[in-house]
Amino acid sequence: MIEAPYDPRGIANLLLDEADRIGIGVTNLALQKLLYFAHGFFLNEAQKPLVKGYFEAWQFGPVHPTAYQAFKRAGADPIIFRAQGQDPLTGLPTEISTPETPVVRRLVQQVLNSYGRLSPGRLVDLSHAKNSPWHFVVDKARTEVAFGLRIPDDVILDRFKYHKVSIGIAPVSGEPSEDTPFT
C-alpha cells in the first residue's frame, strides 16, 4: 500500500473521477483549489502532507505546479482527461495510480461535497481569505524576498483555519477562468 504523500496528479485524478461520478464538471482552476483544500484538511488531520511537492501562491489562489502542468491543456474548460506519467526508458505514457485508502477517498468525497459545486470565483474568494496561507505568503512577499511564492506546509498548518466562504451576490474576485503565476 502506498502511503502519503502521494503524487499530486494521482489525487487530482481521484478528485476528477469522483467529480464525474457525482456529476460535477471541474476546470483546472477549480481543481487546483480543490486539491489544495484536500491537502490542507489532510495535513491538519494526519499531521503529514497529502501530496508531494508544494503549492505556490498564484494570482487566483494556491496552485500545485505539477498538477497544473498536467491539466493545463484543458484551459478554462471542464477537464475530460486524466493526468499521465511518462516511462523514463520508453517515453511512453503511463497510468498514475490513485490512492485506494478509505481515508483519502472519504476526504476527496468530503471536499467535493463541501466545495465541488462552488463556482471558481467562490473557490478563489475562499482561498484568498484574510490571514489564510495564500494571503499570508502574498502579503509577506510585499516586504520580503519570495522565491516562487511557495506556501510551506507549516504555514498551511498554522493558517488553514482562516479560510471562510464569502457571502454575497457575486464573488469578490469575479469569475476567473484560468490562473497565472504572479510576475
List residues bridging with 86 in a β-sheet. Answer: 93
d(CA 60, CA 123): 9
Q: pTM score, two decimals?
A: 0.89
How far does the chain reach from its first CA to its final CA, in angstroms?
40
pLDDT, tens digit, for every residue of 49-107? 999 999 999 999 999 999 999 999 999 999 999 999 998 999 899 999 999 899 999 99
Contact 79, 16 (CB under 8 A): yes
pLDDT, tens digit, for every residue of 7-63? 999 999 999 999 999 999 999 999 999 999 999 999 999 999 999 999 999 999 999
